[in-house]
Amino acid sequence: MISPSYVRTMARYNAWQNANIYGASGRLSDAQRKEDRGAFFRSIHATLNHILWADQMWLMRFGAAPAPAKRSLADGLSLFDDWEALAAERRRFDDVIQEWADRLEPSILEGDLKWLSGATGRDMTSPKALIVTHIFNHQTHHRGQVHAILTGFGIKPDMTDLPFGPDLYTA
């Protein structure tokens, strides 16, 4: 289904796009970033917290990171109240994701991942390759929501298309 090369490419894309979205979001005031704009997680700040929290949860399940400071989906929306702390942790964790991807052996993508889902309240099992694909798809989905909110504020983030990213592909 997917290969370590795909995971490395997507980890680089993730870091590139997080820098893009955080840079654009940084042009807003703290109040604007936290304003309820009708998105699924209400605000830019809560949505970016959610993406980071989910990344931490998934990498913890793969044994590549410790558990996030907050363990529930609802609490993950307020992982960091301070914008600078959130942005710094995002940059740091993007490095964690890239290091994990760079070390990824094909065998890690084989078999199933089992976990207790806080979202569903039950034990879950899914193919590891599907979950890794989901990690990057989830990030892109919610960054798209932030992009739409930024557009509503009159801010246009830089290019988001994968083929135009700087040095993203690794064979």
User: Residue 126 sits in a domain of what CATH number?
Assistant: 1.20.120.450
Question: Does residue 85 lie within any of the structural domains?
Answer: yes
Contacts (Cβ under 8 Å, ≥6 apart) of 128: 62, 108, 109, 110, 111, 112, 113
Question: Does residue 169 lie within any of the structural domains?
Answer: no
Cα angle value 94/165/39 (rounded, 5°): 65
32, 153 in Cβ contact below 8 A? yes
State the pTM of this model.
0.94
Question: Does residue 115 lie within any of the structural domains?
Answer: yes
Structure tokens at 123: 């034990």
pLDDT at 10 exceeding the cut of 80: yes
What is the pLDDT confidence band of residue 75, given thresholds at 50, 70 and 90? confident
Question: Does residue 126 lie within any of the structural domains?
Answer: yes
Task: Say how many domains are in the chain.
Answer: 1
Of 50, 5, 10, the residue nearest 134 (C-alpha): 10
What is the pLDDT confidence band of residue 171, given thresholds at 50, 70 and 90? low
- Identity of the amino acid at 171: A
Question: Does residue 156 lie within any of the structural domains?
Answer: yes
pLDDT digits (tens, 9 = 90+) for 82-136: 999 999 999 999 999 999 999 999 999 999 999 998 888 899 999 999 999 999 9
Question: Does residue 170 lie within any of the structural domains?
Answer: no
Mean pLDDT on 6-13: 96
Residue 32 structural domain = 4-162
**pLDDT for res 120:** 87
pLDDT digits (tens, 9 = 90+) for 157-170: 999 998 888 887 76
**pLDDT for res 114:** 97
Residue found by looking up tokens 């993950």 in the block: 76
**pLDDT for res 127:** 98
pLDDT digits (tens, 9 = 90+) for 26-37: 999 999 999 999
**pLDDT for res 72:** 81
Question: Does residue 168 lie within any of the structural domains?
Answer: no
16-25, 45-54, 111-120: segment of lowest average pLDDT: 111-120
Question: Does residue 65 lie within any of the structural domains?
Answer: yes
